[in-house]
Amino acid sequence: MSASRVITGIVLVPILLIIVWLLPYQYFMGLVAVATVVGLHEFYRMAEARGVRPLSKLGMALGALLIILDLYGTKRFDWGPAFYITFCVITVLTARLFSSRQVEGALSDVAVTLAGLFYVALLLGFQVAIHRGYQGKYWLVFLYLVIWASDTGAYYIGTAFGKHRLYEKISPKKSIEGLIGGLLASVIIALLCKQWLVPSLGIIEAAVLGVVLALVGTIGDLVESLLKRSVGVKDSGTIIRGHGGILDRMDSMMFAAPVLYYYLQ
């Protein structure tokens, strides 16, 4: 693990936890909205590397709107999430219809624009919903610590003992040994978080939740590797020194957060 990666983590992690734990809810929503815009920018740039021309500016604007509206929060709008998803679909299709672009490529342009909204904006929005729910900041920190433990455990155990590839065609460096190390680290942190953050959680329940979140987070990581490999890039972006882009850092969270949210429901 590079020194710049460690230093960046030491600086950014406390800032994130302060925003989650100490500041009003709206600050975290704003942070996620910014992350959504950056993540969509990265997603659309990857698509452009293969000749697709998504409606990037419109997609980023709609993505930020989806976060601000907090579709899955406790104070839901009367029309519900389906209305806003429908609004995005119709808006993107209409915008492409009346754009000055050639007819050719319209299907791929629209498909990638909407795929970015569903993949980035809708999945990131679950973190806002968790934060806004009952004991939200406790559960959000629980999520972050479990996923960070999974990533760290997988990295160090995989580096030291990894011999059997987990899914070589997608991520050649990931190993089965690393996955096991990540799962063990997640269970340990989940059990500690049960004591520190959510004492009402049962021991077995905490351990199972740690395993499930780590497994789903690993799938999220592999999905992003699939997308990057399909367009021939190593990282989704360069905004976080030593870590790559927003999608590189949030890929596991984007899959794990919906699972935790629906578990809490």
- The pLDDT of residue 25 is 84
pLDDT given for residue 81 in this prediction: 73
**pLDDT at res. 23:** 86
How far is 189 from 222, CA to CA, in rounded Å?
Answer: 22
Res 11: pLDDT? 63
CA dihedral sign of residues 196, 198, 203, 204: negative
Mean pLDDT calculated for residue range 13-20: 80
Nearest to 230 by CA among 168, 167, 170, 172: 170
Percent of the residues in the chain that have a pLDDT greater than 90, as a whole number: 67
Contact 23, 71 (CB under 8 A): no
For residues 95 and 75, the model is more confident at 95
Among the ranges given (11-20, 116-125, 190-199, 218-227), the one the predictor scored with the smallest mean pLDDT: 11-20
What does the longest C-alpha to C-alpha distance in the chain come to?
Answer: 59
What pLDDT is attached to residue 80? 64
Please tell me the predicted confidence (pLDDT) of residue 242: 53
Lowest mean pLDDT among 12-26, 117-131, 132-146, 175-189: 12-26
Rg (CA), the chain: 19
Average pLDDT over the chain, rounded to an integer: 88
| Other CB atoms within 10 Å distance of the CB of residue 13 | 12
- Name the helix (H) or strand (E) containing 165: strand 165-167
Domains contained in the chain, number: 1
Q: Which domain holds residue 20?
A: 3-264
Between 37 and 12, the higher pLDDT residue: 37
Q: What is the mean pLDDT of residues 147-163?
A: 92
Helix axes 25-48, 203-231, angle to 10 degrees: 30
Contacts of 93 by beta carbon, 8 Å cutoff, 6+ apart: 110
Residue 50 is classified by DSSP as: T
What is the DSSP-derived secondary structure letter of residue 111?
H
Polymer length in residues for the chain? 265
Q: What is the pLDDT of residues 46-86, one digit of tens each?
A: 999 889 999 999 999 999 999 988 766 545 555 667 788 89
What pLDDT does residue 125 have? Answer: 92
DSSP letter for 241, please. Answer: T
Query: Which pLDDT tens digit goes with each residue over 195-233?
Result: 999 999 999 999 999 999 999 999 999 999 999 999 888
3-class state of residue 259 by DSSP: helix
209 close to 203: Cβ distance less than 8 angstroms: no
Neighbours of 204 (CB within 10 A): 8
pLDDT for the residue numbered 167: 87
Rounded to whole angstroms, the Cα distance separating 184 from 179 reads: 9
